Amino acid sequence: MRQEQLFDSAAGEREVPLAERMRPKTLEEFVGQRHVMAPDKALGRLLGARRLQSLTLWGAPGCGKTTLARLIAQETGAYLIGLSAVTAGVKEVRAAVDEAGRQWAHYRRRTILFVDEIHRFNKAQQDLLLPHVEKGTVVFIGATTENPSFEVIAPLLSRAPVVVLEPLAEEELKVILRRALVDKERGLGEIAAQVDEAAFDHLVGAAGGDARIALNGLEAAVLTTPPDETGGRRVTLHAVVDALQRKALLYDKEGEEHYNLISALHKSLRGSDPDGALYWLARMLAAGEDPLYLARRMVRFATEDIGLADPQALVVTVAAQQAFQLVGRPEGDLALAEAAVYLATAPKSNAIYVAYGKATNEVERSGSLPVPLRIRNAPTALMKRLGYGRGYRYPHDHADAYVPEGYLPEAIEEQRFYEPTERGYEATLGDRLKRWRGQRRTKPTKDTA
C-alpha cells in the first residue's frame, strides 16, 4: 500500500491548485504555529528529538494540519499513510494497519496513520483504531476542525493528546503569498505579477487565517488579470474582489463554531452591547444560520436574562419572530436586528431564571407535598365536609385585592423563590412584594369569605 494521494506532490502541473503546489516541503518553509512549533514548545521538542507520538491536531481550515503531519513523518523518517475520514472506512483502516505491520517487519520503519477530518469517523470506526495505537502498530495523527471534546472518543484522545493550531495571522499569510508570487518552480514567479497593496490587504483579510483560501484567491486573481504590453500583470483590488466573489465565513451549523458564535451573541446581549449583538447576529445570518433559530434564542434570552426587569422584552422578541415569518428575508432580518438591540439595551435581571431554578430544586427535594386544605378545590359536599377550601379568603373581596397570607405547602411556607432586583420594572415589583410580605400571615385563618 503506497502513501495516499493526500500527500503526493504535483509541482509544475498547472492544473493543480496553487495551495497544493505551495505546500511546504521542509520545516524551514512551514509558516505559523510558533506557539507549538518553537524549539521549546511541545511539537518543537518532539521534532528536535526525532520522536514520534500520536497526536490530534485541532485547528481551523487552512492552518497547516495536513502539511504538519507530512513534515512530522519526513523529519522522523516514518512511513506515512493518509486517509480521509470522509471516504475511508473499516476496510481502509485495516489495510493501513496491515501495511504498517509490513513496514515494520521488512524495514523496521514506524508508520504514521494520518486521518484527516477524524470527526467524520463514528464511534465504532474510532474504536477500531485504539488497539493498534496502544500496541504501537501505528502512530496516529488525527486532524479536525471540530472540537475534539465533542467529536473524538475519550480513549483515543487520551492516547493522542490535542495540539491546538491557530488560524494564520495576517503577517504570516503575507509571507506565504509573497513566496508564492516569486516562486518560479511551484508558484507564480514566471508570470511576473504585481499585486496592489490594497488588493493584497483585502486578500489577506478575506482569507480569515486560511492559507488555502488566500493562495487560491491569489492564483485566480493573477490568472484572470490580462497581461499588459510588457507581459506583466498588475492585480488590482477589483480583480481580487472579483476572484474571491464572497468571503467564506468560518461556520458549521452543527459544530463548535456554531456554539462559539451563538455564545458571542448571548454574551453581547447580556453585556448590554448592541453593537456586538448586531455584529454576531449579522455574522450568523451571513453564514447561513436559520433565522428562526436565532429568534428562538432571543426569546429564551428575554425570559432568562431580562425577565420582569422589562416585561416588554418577551413581547418584542415574539413579535420579531412573527414578523420574520410574515415577511421573510431579507426584510425580516431587520425585525431580528430590532429585537437584538432592544434586548441589549434593556435592563437585565435573571431573577425569574433563578427563582424557577429554586422552585424546581425544592420540588425535587421535598417531593409531593400536600396542597393546603384552604386552597383546595371543593366541588362536592364530601370535599367540603373534609375541609377543602375552608378558610380561604377571596382576595377581590378585600382592600387592594390582597389577603396577607401565603399559599405554599405548610412544610415550606417560609420559602422565598423570587427575589426581584432593583433594575427596571422589577424595582416596582420589589417594593410591592416587600409591602405584601411584610403583612403576610403564614398560618391559615379561621374566617371564611
DSSP letters along 224-267, please? TSPP-TTS-EEE-HHHHHHHH-SPPP---TTSHHHHHHHHHHHH
DSSP for residue 441 = B
Q: What's residue 403's pLDDT? A: 85
User: If DSSP codes are grouped into helix, strand and coil, which group holds residue 38?
Assistant: coil
Spatial neighbors of 182 by CB under 8 A, at least 6 apart, are 189
Spatial neighbors of 154 by CB under 8 A, at least 6 apart, are none
Indicate the pLDDT class of residue 441, thresholds 50, 70 and 90: low
Any idea which residue has 400571615 for its cell?
441
CB 403 within 8 A of CB 419: no
Indicate the pLDDT class of residue 47, thresholds 50, 70 and 90: confident
The topology (CATH level 3) of 371-439 is post-AAA+ oligomerization domain-like (1.10.3710)
pLDDT tens across 339-376, in order? 999 999 999 999 999 999 999 999 988 888 888 888 88
Q: What's residue 444's pLDDT? A: 47
Cβ-based burial of 425 (10 A; exposed 0-12, middle 13-18, buried ≥19): middle
Among the residue ranges 249-253, 278-282, 393-397, the one predicted with the least confidence is: 249-253
Q: Which three cell numbers stand for residue 74?
A: 519526513
Query: Virtual CA dihedral for 161, 22, 96, 112, nearest 10 degrees?
Result: -40
Cβ-based burial of 90 (10 A; exposed 0-12, middle 13-18, buried ≥19): exposed
CB 78 within 8 A of CB 139: yes
Taking each helix axis from N to C end, the angle separating 170-182 and 211-223, rounded to the nearest 10 degrees, works out to: 40
Q: What is the pTM of this model?
A: 0.59
Spell out the domain ranges in the chain: 32-164, 170-244, 256-345, 371-439
Architecture in CATH of 170-244:
Orthogonal Bundle (1.10)
The topology (CATH level 3) of 256-345 is Zinc Finger, Delta Prime; domain 3 (1.20.272)
The topology (CATH level 3) of 32-164 is Rossmann fold (3.40.50)
> What percent of the chain has a predicted confidence (pLDDT) above 90?
42
